[in-house]
Chains A and B, each alone.
Chain A
């Protein structure tokens, strides 16, 4: 499924996760828009937790800038990236009962 983020109906500022109103202009109505593309800014790996959870393996965690207009996201990667600046495909995946940001790496 696609990853939905909030876009302010007044100033078009994009943000994730949701706030109480737009952090840029204070308007209280936002619409959900899809964020599909991203740029990798940083990543690390959290060790496997050793419990029987759905995603018990090591977790690759990334800081991602959604393209072209943001926001900055913390996302889980499904495969190991190779370099800062790598292009990513963003998607939403149900994780521990919530739809959360995931990404896969793209060549280049």
Chain B
């Protein structure tokens, strides 16, 4: 049925680690160094040493010329399982799904997943201009450089289709900034007002600077074990779609919509059972699109949904601030939401810890081809033990 499901008693996420999102890292900063910091924190939180790790999954755009196995060598890890993924915002859940299968199949006992990127301004401009062959040969020469124009057009169409106004997107950004205030790792933590949002400079109409994720350097990590002890997080069910509509569709509906009904059936739960939600927020319009695709929100009343549920925190969405406030550390942006839901379910979210959280859902989205992201996935997670 194209989704993964698992019962309790199987593998579990036992700990997380995350570096601060650095807007202006110093000259000594490196992708591998950030990854080591996140992995080290995750292992310390799990009470594990590097010698106990036998699996490594890596997502990064800027680790080159090194690859996952070079990182393993630099970290001194001797492995039975090693994987790499470059599918941007979809890479974290992609790796999670593969790691889960590997642990369940006995290929490894303790897997670390890590994503991280470190950019200078020139690195980032080069990455987006030559993101893939279409960007390099068609879109960038046309003057359509990077993701902003694509998502500006999707936002314009979402506004026309749903009646969303800039004030509504602003309310979502303000709510995420309020969550970021309690995340010491977030790049932007100072309160944001709706007036400030509306006054921000336009970068590609209707998008302003505050609709676009700040580029940061950082890394995120998770530790998974085949036979976890104590409190851990279980992958209840997950689904994924790649190139689901050949870029010939609407773009406002991601591949998540195609598997969401089966995902919830496999999970034995529905959207209303979720205590915490992370959706991939490269732009506010896409966060809302994924909430609709999951069945958490309805496209029929998105302004009301934002006002009643997101702005009031009735539904905790992107509780670390999301990429819009915490920052997007390249591929680590895809792991940010997964780490936050795992952190909440493990009860380690500090000043923003939600009470009594048992279940959460996370989405990933990314890899713009000619018009919008080609990859979308989601994972339903549950707290287990104690």
Flag if B248 contacts A44 (CB, 8 Å): no
Chain A residues with Cβ under 8 A from B134's Cβ? 17
A68 interfacial by beta-carbon distance below 8 Å: no
Chain B residues with Cβ under 8 A from A55's Cβ? 143
A107 to B205, CA, bound (A): 23
* Given A47-B203, A61-B144: A74 and B139 interface contact (C-beta under 8 Å): yes
Flag if B143 contacts A46 (CB, 8 Å): yes
A55 to B154, CA, bound (A): 24
B222 interfacial by beta-carbon distance below 8 Å: no
A104 interfacial by beta-carbon distance below 8 Å: no
Chain A residues within 8 Å of chain B by Cβ, number: 29
Interface residues of B in 355-386 (CB under 8 A from A): 370-371
Flag if A46 contacts B246 (CB, 8 Å): no
Fill in one digit per residue for B194-217: 1 if any A CB lies within 8 Å of its CB, else 0: 000000000111110000000000
Fill in one digit per residue for A43-82: 1 if any B CB lies within 8 Å of its CB, else 0: 1111101000001000101110000001110111000000
Interface of A is mostly: strand
Which of these binds chain B: A2-10, A29-37, A93-101? Answer: A93-101
Chain B residues with Cβ under 8 A from A84's Cβ? 156-157, 160
Chain B residues with Cβ under 8 A from A98's Cβ? 137-138, 141
* Given A17-B134, A61-B142, A74-B142: A45 and B204 interface contact (C-beta under 8 Å): yes
* Given A47-B203, A74-B370: A42 and B154 interface contact (C-beta under 8 Å): yes
- Please give the distance in Å from A99's CB to the nearest CB on chain B: 10
A34 to B149, CA, bound (A): 26
Flag if B137 contacts A41 (CB, 8 Å): no
B152 interfacial by beta-carbon distance below 8 Å: yes
Flag if A59 contacts B144 (CB, 8 Å): yes
Flag if B141 contacts A72 (CB, 8 Å): no
Chain B residues within 8 Å of chain A by Cβ, number: 28
Chain A residues with Cβ under 8 A from B142's Cβ? 59, 61, 74-76, 95, 100-101
Besides A72-B247, A76-B142, 13 new A-B residue pairs in contact (Cβ under 8 A), listed by A number: A17-B138, A24-B246, A42-B157, A44-B205, A46-B144, A46-B148, A47-B204, A59-B142, A61-B142, A95-B141, A95-B142, A97-B141, A98-B138
Contact of B205 among A45, A75, A97, A100 (CB under 8 A): A45
Smallest CB gap from B151: residue in A: A44
Chain A residues with Cβ under 8 A from B203's Cβ? 47
B153 interfacial by beta-carbon distance below 8 Å: yes
A49 to B146, CA, bound (A): 13
B54 interfacial by beta-carbon distance below 8 Å: no
A26 interfacial by beta-carbon distance below 8 Å: no
A61 to B370, CA, bound (A): 13
B85 interfacial by beta-carbon distance below 8 Å: no
A96 to B206, CA, bound (A): 27
Flag if B143 contacts A70 (CB, 8 Å): no
- Please give the distance in Å from B284's CB to the nearest CB on chain A: 15
